[in-house]
C-alpha cells in the first residue's frame, strides 16, 4: 500500500444552476466545508470567497434558492483525479464581511422551496404507519422517500401539531428508534442498528509510524460516560378502552454498569411490540456512551453511516459508526460513536 502524501490536492467541482463555475471559483475560493450527517441535522455546504474585485458583491452575487451540484475531487501525485459526488444543495444564506471583502455562501441539502423547514403545520393521520406519514410529507414537499428500515406498527392516530415537517418527522423517527436524514432531494429514514451490523470499511490506527495505513490521524479526542445511560428500558401503554396496561422491558446481554431504568409511555398494542420498542428506545438513549472525534488526512471519502475499526486507542479500540463527516479544503473531521452490542 502506498504511503500517504499530503501533497494530494482536494478541490470542489461545482455547477450553479446547471452551469459549471469551477474555474471562476478556483480564483476566489478561500475555504470550504461540507458536512454529512447521519441523522437529525441537514447536510450543508459553505463556501468562503475573496472578493477584492467586488464581483461577488455585485454582478456575481448568488441567488437565494439557486441549485448547486457539487463533487469533491482528489488530484493525486500521479495526476489521477478521484471524484465523489457530494449532492445537490440550495443556496440558503449569503454573508459578506470586511475589511478585505469576503462573501460566504451557505447552502443546504433541503430545498428551501419545500416547506420542510420554514412552515409550521397541523395535520392528523388515522390508522397510519411512519412510512405512510413520511411518504405523504415527502410527496407534499416534492421529495422522494427512501425508507431503509423495517415497517413500523400501525398507530391509531399520529398528530402533527403546529410543527415544521422536519421537526415532526424527527420526533416520529425518534419515537420509533429510527434516524432521519435529508439529502439529495430525498427524505431518508434508516435504522442505525442495520448500519452498525455492516462490515467495517477500514481500520484507523492512532499511530501510523509503525503501520502502513490509508488514513493518517492528525488529532483525536475520546470520551466514555455513564451520564444519561440506562441499564434497561420499559415501555408502557394503558389501553383507553380496555383499561389494560401493556408493558414490555428490554435489557441488553451486557448492560451498562448502572442501575438507572428508562421508562417510556408509548402507544403499543402488545407486549411483544412494547419489548421491541423498548429495545430501540434504549439504543437511542445509550448510543452516545462512547464517542471519538478525529481529524484525519485520507484519500478515501468517508460517509456518515459507514463503520470503521479503531486500533491503538487502548480501551477505546473497537467498531464505531460515523455519525458526522466534515470535509474542508484541508483535513477531514469525523465524529464516531461505538457500535452497541445486542441492541
Rounded to two decimals, what is the model's pTM? 0.88
Residue 142, all three cell numbers: 416534492
The CA–CA distances, whole Å, from 152 to 147, 172, 319 equal 11, 11, 28
Distance of alpha carbon 144 from the chain centroid: 17
| Per-residue pLDDT in tens (0 to 9) along the chain, 343 residues | 334 444 457 889 999 999 999 988 888 999 999 999 998 788 999 999 999 989 999 999 999 989 999 999 887 777 788 899 999 999 999 999 988 899 999 999 876 666 777 789 999 999 999 999 999 999 999 899 999 998 888 988 999 999 999 899 999 998 888 899 988 788 999 999 999 999 999 999 998 776 667 789 999 999 999 999 999 999 999 988 888 999 999 999 999 999 999 999 988 989 999 999 999 999 999 999 999 999 998 878 899 999 999 999 999 999 999 999 999 877 899 999 999 988 8
Query: Which is it for the CA torsion 311, 315, 321, 323, positive or negative?
Result: negative
* Residue labelled with grid coordinates 502524501: 5
In whole angstroms, what is the distance from residue 280 CA to residue 175 CA? 9
* Cis peptide bond prior to 99, omega within 30° of 0: yes
Question: CA 262, CA 20: separation in Å to the nearest integer?
Answer: 52
Q: Which residues contact 107 (CB under 8 A, 6 or more apart)?
A: 44, 45, 46, 47, 68, 89, 90, 91, 92
- Angle value at C-alpha 324, between 162 and 189, nearest 5 degrees: 50
Question: What is the reported pLDDT for 27?
Answer: 87
User: What pLDDT does residue 5 have?
Assistant: 45
Angle subtended by helix axes 165-175 and 130-140, to nearest 10:
160
The pLDDT value given to residue 94 = 96
In 3D, which of 203, 205, 196 has the Cα closest to residue 313?
205
CA–CA separation, 47 and 53 (whole Å): 17
DSSP code string of 199-245: PPSEEEES--SSS--SEEEEEEEEEE--TT--SEEEEEEE-TTT-PE
| Grid coordinates given for 73 | 475531487
Cα separation, 54 vs 73, in Å, equals 28
Residue 53, phi then psi, degrees to nearest 5: -85, 0
CA distance readout (Å), 258 to 121, 231, 320: 40, 6, 22
Q: What is the pLDDT of residue 321?
A: 97
Q: How far is Cα 11 from Cα 305, in angstroms, rounded to an integer?
A: 23
3-state helix, strand, coil in the chain (%, to 5): 15, 45, 40
CA distance 17 to 62: 10
- Taking a C-beta distance cutoff of 8 angstroms, is the pair 223, 254 a contact? no
Largest CA distance in the chain: 74
Amino acid at each position: 500500500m502506498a504511503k500517504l502524501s499530503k501533497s494530494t490536492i482536494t478541490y470542489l467541482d461545482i455547477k450553479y444552476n446547471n452551469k459549471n463555475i469551477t474555474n471562476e471559483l478556483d480564483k476566489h475560493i478561500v475555504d470550504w466545508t461540507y458536512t454529512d450527517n447521519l441523522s437529525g441535522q441537514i447536510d450543508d455546504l459553505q463556501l468562503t470567497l475573496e472578493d477584492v474585485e467586488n464581483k461577488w458583491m455585485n454582478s456575481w452575487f448568488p441567488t437565494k434558492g439557486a441549485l448547486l451540484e457539487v463533487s469533491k475531487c482528489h488530484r493525486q501525485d500521479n495526476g489521477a483525479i478521484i471524484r465523489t459526488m457530494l449532492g445537490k444543495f440550495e443556496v440558503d444564506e449569503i454573508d459578506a464581511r470586511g475589511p478585505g471583502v469576503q462573501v460566504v455562501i451557505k447552502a443546504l441539502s433541503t430545498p428551501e422551496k419545500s416547506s420542510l423547514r420554514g412552515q409550521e403545520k397541523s395535520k392528523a393521520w388515522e390508522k397510519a404507519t411512519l412510512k405512510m406519514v413520511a411518504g405523504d410529507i415527502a410527496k407534499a414537499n416534492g421529495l422522494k422517500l427512501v425508507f431503509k428500515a423495517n415497517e413500523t406498527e400501525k398507530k391509531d392516530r399520529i398528530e402533527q401539531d403546529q410543527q415544521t415537517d422536519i421537526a415532526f418527522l424527527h420526533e416520529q423517527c425518534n419515537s420509533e428508534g429510527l434516524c432521519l436524514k435529508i439529502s439529495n432531494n430525498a427524505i431518508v429514514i434508516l435504522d442505525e442498528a442495520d448500519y452498525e451490523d455492516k462490515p467495517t470499511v477500514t481500520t484507523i490506527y492512532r499511530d501510523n509510524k509503525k503501520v502502513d495505513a490509508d488514513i493518517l490521524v492528525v488529532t483525536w479526542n475520546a470520551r466514555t460516560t455513564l451520564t444519561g445511560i440506562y441499564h434497561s428500558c420499559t415501555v408502557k401503554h394503558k389501553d383507553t378502552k380496555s383499561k389494560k396496561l401493556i408493558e414490555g422491558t428490554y435489557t441488553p446481554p451486557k448492560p451498562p454498569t448502572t442501575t438507572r431504568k428508562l421508562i417510556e409511555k408509548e402507544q403499543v398494542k402488545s407486549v411483544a411490540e412494547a419489548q421491541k420498542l423498548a429495545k430501540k428506545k434504549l439504543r437511542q438513549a445509550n448510543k452516545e456512551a462512547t464517542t471519538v472525534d478525529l481529524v484525519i488526512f485520507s484519500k478515501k471519502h468517508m460517509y456518515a453511516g459507514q463503520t470503521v475499526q479503531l486500533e491503538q486507542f487502548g480501551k477505546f479500540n473497537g467498531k464505531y459508526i460515523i455519525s458526522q463527516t466534515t470535509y474542508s479544503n484541508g483535513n477531514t473531521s469525523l465524529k464516531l460513536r461505538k457500535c452497541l452490542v445486542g441492541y
